[in-house]
Structure 1
Amino acid sequence: MNNKKTNSKQQSNKKASSSAIIVVLITLMIAIASGNSQAAAASAELEKVLKHKVETEKLSVGVAVAIIESGQVSFINVGVANKEMVQKIDQNTLFEIGSVSKVMTSTALATFVDEGKLKLSELVQNYLPKSVRLPMKNDKAITFESLANHRSGLPRLPSNMPFGDPLNPYVDYTTEMMYEFLNQYTLPREVGESPEYSNLAVGLLGHTLAKIDNMNYEQMLMQRVLKPLKMNDTFVDVPKSALTRRSKGHNGNLETTDYWQLPAMAGAGAVVSDVSDMALFLKANMQQNELASAIKLTHQPTAEFGNSHTKVGLGWIIQGTADGDVYMHNGQTGGFASFIGFNPTLHKGIVILSNTSILMDEIGYSYLTNSLASLKLTTPVKVAEVELAKLIGRYELVPGFILSITHDENKLFVQGTGQPRLPLTANSINEFVNNAVKARIQFELDADGIATSLTMYQGGQTLPGKKLK
């Protein structure tokens, strides 16, 4: 009789355990389904915004985007890589990523630290040729950390760049020129005192790390970052076998322009990649992987970056928001723009690669803060030539700086004193924009529709201008 009771109890326990397992599985399946549904909804909303920005607002010829939503990776491709051949963008299209390269360079630095081969506080001077003397201020010397977090005191660009080719401005700047500049430069402030975004600093960082490994920059990055993360389609010098996948670059007027080469400062912006590889890099910054320890170091805030809500890690800019910290960086060359970012709190990440030099940061940041719905989507309108003629004239913003407004048939143009002539796109009969320079111009009209003044909005500034007679 006792055996029967025992068996009955065991069977009841088994049934209870089975029921519990079923409940857990159902809960897990619901959670997965919910996560997939959220990811699909976020992807659909983002795709709608991207298509409008590319096809209607003409902010890019083509974009490739990767998003990570609750662990799920998805891709969105809009537009073309080559207008002449109508070659569509896909996940294997190669883009210049510009200054997003800086995050990779800083990740390489973190691997040195993780191995015990370097300390962030070590002096960069100790790893350069004796003929090179880095500047100091009040006996404070440039460290590896100060190069990675833009607090070295070095300027954005060295003043001895020849700029022989305006469409490829770094190509003729050599390592010898960089050394010459560093030898004669005087720091305007102490190392670590305050931030100044510096291509030179991160270029010097990449150069120095490569020298320590006795390699060139691409080889060093390949060994330390790209191979461990299986990023097999990321390069500095694109091999012949991959050239057919390389997108054309376009300026802000959507005209084809030249690729950039940065022989002396490769670490600041020379990397070329596709969105599939960049998704791997993004995922590595959000999940465990072979480089987790080094990557975690790059996420640690090292100092404020402009204000108390913005900090800088190693490469990463960290923006505090109501929805958690957003880690991000953008990039821009003469023909490309890029954005990478992630929000650990919301388990969201995004990479945007564009083959046009107009920045797409607003889209990336809005996605990471669940605010895509608040983005302004504008639709250009056609304004009759007779109405455009009522806007032409010369408008003085400040003494000595005049905006000349002209028109050519059904197109309006603006030209500032000493600046090139730029086309304007109409949002309405009296509001026009140029996306290349992120400028918006609004005209004040009289009862007959003739402009009497204008206001230009650019870079956070509001600049009114009276029409000159």
Structure 2
Amino acid sequence: MKTNKGTIVFIILWLSIFLYPLNTKASGQETPSGIPISDIEATIDEYVDEWVENTVAGVSVEVIKNHEVVFSKGYGLADIDQNMDMNPDETIMEWGSVSKLLVWVSLMQLAEQGELDLTDDIQPYLPDGFLTKVSREEPITFLNLMNHTAGFEDNVFDLGFPTPEHVTTLEEGLKVAEPNQVYPPGEVVAYSNYSTALAAFIVEQVTGEPFYEYVENEIFEPLNMNHTVIHPTFSGKEDLMEKKAKGYVLIEPSVFIESDWFYMSMYPSGGVNGTASDLTAFVQALLPMDGESSPLFKEHETLNQFLSQSYAADETINGIAHGLWEYAGAARGLYHGGNTNSFSSHVHLVPDEEFAVVVLTNQAGEMEINYGLTELLVGAERVEQEVMVQDLPPAIEGSFLATRRPQHSFIKLYFDLMPFTIKPSEEDKIEVQYAGFTGTYLQTSPNTYKLVEGDLVFHSMKQLFVQMENAKVSKISTSISDYEPYPPGKSMPYVLIYGILASIVALYFLVIPIILLIKRIRRQSKHRMSKVSIGHGILALSGTVLIVNLLILVARMLINAGRAYSEVMPQLVLNGIFTGIAGVAMLFMIVNWRITRSTTKEKIMYMLSIIFIVVLIILMSVFQFYR
């Protein structure tokens, strides 16, 4: 019997439905976490609706799958007072540290052109004597800058300003804000805005044009990113300012206060303003179709190198891919987040799945959508132990400090009070507490721990690798930062002791002027004061001025940490002046002590004042309130 060819084809197709069921995963129409693309809008709507206008003012979300934008939507308000809706195509928002990706792409472009090598020492590319605080003999390479392993301490001063008046050129900004080098290059991951801005300055030196012009010509124009500006004051694209969202800080659920916009001299580190759609166009350029080159690079190999791992503390944990963080998800991810005083952002790529998520919000420090929604779409790593429990070393414990912190400024006190604390939980688990958040980690192999549950702040540190030296923890590594033991004399017990002493001293010098004034009134002005009494009055007043000055300084930094150093320098100088006055008064008292006719009670008060001023000066020196 003859069989019609059409009948055979029909039978084969019919059988394939049962033998090889068609599904969204087989056709590549799923998110990495397994959500069908056909359900993505309903899924995102349901998730975002819980948070928008409750804990976040507004958000734009875009999703890429198989080289297409499969989702684009704005939620909430770009301007609460004007009732202006969020629009991914039109609403301008601050990208924060996502801006750094433009720097790393620029370096890759120049490396591709042979203008530099990523393993080169950066010093020959800089003007002579440009870096004045480098303390190590080992060279700093471009890879060190990209991997945040150049060894620089953090510096909060002169990073960003609420108004554009303080903005200088990139070169001047780098000179003013140069940090100390506190680690050997290549050994410690300490996130560095300075490193990124320094790399952008080298791009200027190599190309002979301002970095913002280079980015405009080599990245924005080829990708038609017409609604994005990198110039720190919007120069040349002032019209975009009219479409910029207001930024907010959450006070309590559904209560937002408007916050300042962010202006930077070191703008390559976090000064880009643009739409979610333009950011998506940039991300799409990093996920070209098979056989096609990225419009950002001439060679596909350059893109492959850019997205490959460039640093990891150990092979058992994720690391860094030339400025992008590796992510332990259902598939290997690459991401970068960003925060300013008023905005937050998140970009997450899954190259093997041809998938990406872009999130921009006008909410400072937002996590539920930036991290929570992203994890919903990209999935989480399945955490399992790789060896028998009895083969694992005992769980670690202790308190540690982030390597990304100021070490030569009074701001270091804030970081000293925010330890990364670890304690054993169960036989094979540890509990980590950081900044008021808690995460539980499972030891999956010797010295490697992976997150099994915890707050969203641990989204970027899902894996820990513990390095030991002489049977003690020498360093704890995550993909985004390292943590080290407290320096001698600076652990939490010491800090608490310092805090108690500081409170007693502060209370004393706030009360003593009142006591002396009452005493003077009772004795009446005709009573002649002794030389020791005069010296004591000057010493006590100096101590009071120092305490009041410190309280004002701390309050100013808590209200707005984004300050120029010039704004706080007068108060630091004031500390030095009144410390000197107190020292002279103390010496005057000691010299005239033998000839004083003071009562025993008065001598006790004099001694207390001398002791407390010495303690105050020591505490101010320890916590660097003179620099």
Contact 2:250 2:257 in 1 (8 A): yes
Structure with a larger share of its residues in helix: 2
Match of residue 319 from structure 1: 327
The change in CA–CA distance for 1:275 and 1:23 in structure 2 (over 3 A counts) is: farther
Question: Residue 77 of structure 1: which of 74, 79, 88 is its match?
Answer: 74
Query: Counterparts of 1:69-468 in structure 2 under 5 Å?
Result: 69-73=65-69, 74-92=71-89, 93-133=91-131, 136-157=134-155, 161=158, 165=161, 171=167, 175-176=171-172, 178-179=174-175, 182=178, 186-237=180-231, 238=234, 239-253=237-251, 254-263=256-265, 265-288=266-289, 289-290=294-295, 291=297, 292-304=300-312, 308-321=316-329, 323-360=330-367, 361-370=370-379, 400=499
The answer to whether the Cα contact below 8 Å between 1:158 and 1:178 also exists between their aligned partners in 2 is no
Maintained 8 Å contact 1:68/1:283: yes
SS at match of 1:75: strand
State the secondary structure of the residue aligned to 1:215: coil
CA distance in 2, matches of 1:313, 1:234: 25
Cα separation, 2, equivalents of 1:82 and 1:234: 19
Paired with 1:368 and 1:348, the residues of 2 have a C-alpha distance of 10
Deviation of residue 174 (structure 1)?
A: 6.0
Q: 1:66 aligns with which of 59, 62, 65?
A: 62
Distance in 2 separating the partners of 1:169 and 1:303: 38
Structure 2: how far apart are the matches of 1:325 and 1:255?
38
| C-alpha distance in 2 between matches for 1:299 and 1:134 | 33
Aligned in 2, Cα 1:23/1:224: closer, same or farther, shift over 3 Å? farther
Contact 1:167 1:334 in 2 (8 A): no
CA-to-aligned-CA distance 1:287-322 (integer Å, 9 cap, x gap):
34323443332212111269952301111001234x
The alignment's TM-score, normalised by the length of structure 1, stands at 0.68
Q: Distance in 1 between matches of 2:247 and 2:117?
A: 38
State the match for 2:608 in structure 1: none
Q: After TM superposition, give the deviation of residue 129 of structure 1 in Å.
A: 1.7
**d(CA) in 1 for partners of 2:339 and 2:98?**
9
Report if aligned partners of 2:152, 2:183 keep a CA contact under 8 Å in 1.
Answer: no
Q: 1:54 to 1:20 in 2, by over 3 A?
A: same
Q: Compared with structure 1, are the counterparts of its residues 301 and 76 closer, same or farther at alpha carbon in structure 2 (3 Å cutoff)?
A: same
- Match of 2:50, SS? helix
Query: Aligned to 2:312, what secondary structure does the other structure show?
Result: strand
Equivalent pair of 1:233/1:274 in contact (CA under 8 Å):
yes
Q: 1:104 to 1:177 in 2, by over 3 A?
A: closer
Q: Equivalents in 1 of 2:314, 2:95: separation in Å?
A: 24
Residue 153 of structure 2 contacts residue 180 of structure 2 at CA under 8 Å; is this kept in 1? no
SS in 2 for 1:255: strand
Q: Distance in 2 between matches of 1:171 and 1:349?
A: 34
Identity within the alignment, %: 19
Secondary structure of the structure 2 residue equivalent to 1:256: strand
Q: Judging changes above 3 Å, is the alpha-carbon distance between structure 1 residues 125 and 357 closer, same or farther for their aligned structure 2 residues?
A: same
Could you tell me which residue of structure 2 aligns to residue 393 of structure 1?
none
Distance 1:210 1:162 in 2: 19
Letter in 1 for 2:284: K
Q: Given the superposition, is the C-alpha separation of residues 24 and 259 from structure 1 closer, same or farther in structure 2, using an over 3 Å criterion?
A: farther
- Structure 2 unaligned blocks of 5 or more: 381-452, 457-494, 504-552, 560-627
Structure having the higher Rg: 2
| Partner SS, residue 310 of structure 1 | coil
Q: CA shift at 1:95, angstroms? A: 0.6
Cα distance in 2, alignment partners of residues 148 and 180 from structure 1: 22
> Any conservation in 1 of the 2:77–2:84 contact (CA below 8 Å)?
yes
CA distance in 2, matches of 1:95, 1:213: 28
Is the contact made by 2:337 and 2:344 (CA closer than 8 Å) also made in structure 1? yes
Residue 70 of structure 1 deviates from its aligned partner by 4.5
Q: 1:226 to 1:152 in 2, by over 3 A?
A: same
**Structure 1 counterpart of 2:591:** none
Tell me, yes or no, if the aligned pair for 1:102 and 1:268 is still in contact at 8 Å. yes
1:169–1:376 Cα change, 3 Å: farther
CA distance in 1, matches of 2:21, 2:222: 32
Q: Is the 8 A contact 2:136 2:181 kept in 1?
A: no
**Residue 426 (structure 1) aligns with:** none
Structure 2 counterpart of 1:236, one-letter code: I
Does structure 2 retain, via aligned residues, the 8 Å contact 1:101–1:270? Answer: yes
User: Offset of 1:69 from its aligned partner?
Assistant: 3.5
Q: Please give the alpha-carbon distance, in whole angstroms, between the structure 2 residues aligned to 1:188 and 1:376.
A: 31
The answer on whether the counterparts of 1:326 and 1:368 sit within 8 Å (CA) in structure 2 is no
Distance apart, 1:77 and its partner CA: 1.0
TM-score in terms of structure 2 length: 0.52
Distance 1:54 1:176, change over 3 A: same
- Cα distance in 1 for residues equivalent to 2:209 and 2:96: 21
> 1:196 and 1:168, CA in 2 relative to 1: closer, same or farther beyond 3 A?
farther
CA contact (8 A) 1:247 1:355 kept: yes
- The AA in structure 2 aligned to 1:80 is L
The DSSP-based 3-state class of the residue aligned with 1:54 is coil
Give the direction of change, closer, same or farther, for the CA distance of 1:24–1:247 in structure 2 (3 Å limit). Answer: farther
String of CA shifts for 1:137-177, please: whole Å, max 9, x gaps: 55312211111110111223276x397x5677973686335
Structure 1 residue 226, shift from structure 2 partner: 2.1
1:53 aligned counterpart, secondary structure: coil
- SS of residue in 1 equivalent to 2:124: helix
Would the alpha carbon gap of residues 188 and 43 (structure 1) be closer, same or farther in structure 2, given more than 3 Å must change?
Answer: same
Name the CA shift for 1:75/1:61 in 2 (closer, same or farther; >3 Å).
Answer: same
Q: Give the drift of 1:368.
A: 4.0
